[in-house]
Amino acid sequence: MKISFLLHNAYGIGGTIATTFNLAHALADRHEVEIVSVLRHRERPNFALDPRVSLRPLVDLRHEKEHPLHLRPAKVFPVAEYRYRQYSELTDRRIGESLAATDAEVVIGTRPGLNVHLARQAPEHVIRIGQEHLTLDNHPPRLRTTLRRAYRRLDVLTTVTEADAAAYRRKMRLPGVRVEALPNSVPDPVLPAADGTSKVVVAAGRLVPVKRYDLLIEAFAQVAAEHPDWRLRIYGKGEEQARLRQLIESLGLYDKAFLMGAAAPMEAEWVKGSIAASASNFEPFGMTIVEAMRCGLPVVSTDCPYGPGEIIKDGIDGRLVPVGDPDAMAAALLDLVRDDERRRQMGRTAVRNAGRFAPVPVLEQAERLIDEAKAARGTGRPGPAPEGGPIGRRIERALVSQGFAARDAAYAVASRALRTVRKGQ
């Protein structure tokens, strides 16, 4: 089977690119796989690409940035999408031509605007799978309206968390579309896991306000005051770098907290630490959390929407603390700093528990979704509904006919009623 991914820019850096490459690599063991990158701005991708996976760009910005059609606004890519200004009449045309000519049996879109292209322009024989790497509630109302119309033409819509899948089922009118969580995968580590003996806290990600590295630095100041031999290393780059450096200086942490710059891959840096930390206000998934756990680090994270709470088992393989509370973050870090044996035990547990995000389990789930979508096409019926077949779909449609608030309140009651009906079938 040939599977094609439609990606914004395979030559950049980001979680969506990394997880697309990871899934493409896993699928290449059993299928023919290609990545179609709408944009290209450099010679080679930042992430290593499996030679079995082909990469094909549609618009090369090194030569076509001033193309007359690229200076005209896009008409298919939705205006309310975050990346709209990077799209144009030229990208509309190239994406449409690529989809019309595809010989892939399955095409997977990787962001809302590209899912709209896929839904509207892919040939009828193609299995259309849209991936959401953000969250429904993160999308502005105008974009949600566009997606509600376009996504009805998809076969499958995947989210990265169960919570977001539930939100799509409750709040979107998508009859006949399979909506299911498909988590991001992280490759199997090649280095031995961290042993928990180093006195280093590690964090990684874009240096942007939502990641709240300022809060993490403030929390670590309390750790350093009690344990001056511990260090904080933050990996990444972004607009907050200068401000964070000033904060480190003002707190007297110049020799204890370090902005390390970007590192790819991060595995060699994770294993040098004993604790990982994430202070975000919002995480659609939490790729760095999984990476750290797979390398043997317990993770102290804010319990922000949506991902951390579905990844970390509080007190077992990490700690969850309230959003925006540096004292709670400091207390959780100190609990692990003070207790060597607990820290090491939680690190060993983190490795085991994060195995569910390894390539094979995620690959098997992706293949199951594809097979069920193909089978549903063959019978002319949608795939199994998340709430249990045709009865579940009838309940979902009934809820859709009501207002959002009423549906949300009624959903739990309807689900309980469904389980009662199932027992009598």
Express each pLDDT in 180-236 by its tens digit: 999 999 889 999 999 999 999 999 999 999 999 999 999 999 999 999 999 999 999
Q: pLDDT confidence of 380, banded at 50, 70, 90?
A: low
In a domain, 157, yes or no: yes
Facing residues of 231 across strands?
Answer: 200
Count of structural domains, the chain? 3
pLDDT at 269 over 80: yes
End residue of a domain, out of 357, 375, 404 = 357
**161 pLDDT higher than 80:** yes
In a domain, 378, yes or no: no
Mean pLDDT of the chain: 89
Identify the pLDDT of residue 13: 81
pLDDT reported for residue 425? 33
Same structural domain, 299 and 348: yes
Q: How confident is the model at residue 265 (pLDDT cuts 50, 70, 90)?
A: confident
How many Cβ atoms from other residues are within 10 Å of residue 30's Cβ? 11
Q: Would residue 215 count as lying in a domain?
A: yes
Quick: pLDDT tens for 95-141. Answer: 999 999 999 999 999 999 999 999 999 999 999 999 999 999 999 99
* b/e map 189-225, b = 16+ CB within 10 Å: beeebbebeeebbbbbbbbeeebbbbbbbbbbbbbbe
175 in a domain, yes or no? yes
Same structural domain, 172 and 206: no
Whether 413 shows a pLDDT value over 50: the answer reads no
**Same structural domain for residues 24 and 120?**
yes
pLDDT confidence of 379, banded at 50, 70, 90? low
Whole-angstrom distance, CA of residue 211 vs CA of residue 69 = 37
| Residue 257 phi, psi dihedral angles, 5° rounding | -120, 130
Shared-domain flag, residues 305 and 157: no
pLDDT, residue 310, reads 94
Least confident segment among 12-16, 139-143, 365-369:
12-16
- In this structure, the answer to whether residues 28 and 145 fall within a common structural domain is yes
Question: Which CATH number goes with the domain that contains 55?
Answer: 3.40.50.2000
Q: Do 337 and 420 belong to one domain?
A: no
Tell me what the mean pLDDT of segment 310-333 comes to. 97
**Per-residue pLDDT at 166:** 94
Of residues 387 and 88, which shows the higher confidence score?
88
386-406 pLDDT, tens digit per residue, is: 433 333 333 334 333 333 333
The parent domain of residue 275 ranges over 200-357
Strands (E) located in 299-411: 299-302, 318-321
Four-residue CA torsion sign, 363, 367, 370, 372: negative
Task: Name the percent of the chain lying above pLDDT 90.
Answer: 83
Rounded to whole angstroms, how far apart are CA atoms 342 and 7? Answer: 42
Same domain, yes or no, for 239 and 115? no
Backbone angle region of 5, left / alpha / beta, with phi > 0 → left and psi within -120 to 50 → alpha: beta
pLDDT of 361 over the 80 cut: yes
Residues 161 and 232 reside in one and the same domain: no
Is residue 132 domain-shared with residue 221, that is, in the same domain? no
Considering the domain architecture, whether residues 401 and 293 belong to the same structural domain is answered as no
**Does 367 fall in a domain?**
no
19 located within any domain:
yes
What confidence score (pLDDT) does residue 393 get? 39
The pLDDT score that the predictor gives to residue 213 is 98
Residues 30, 172 within the same domain = yes
Domain end (from 357, 377, 397): 357
376 within some domain: no
Percent of the chain with pLDDT over 70: 89
In a domain, 370, yes or no: no
350 shares a domain with 321: yes
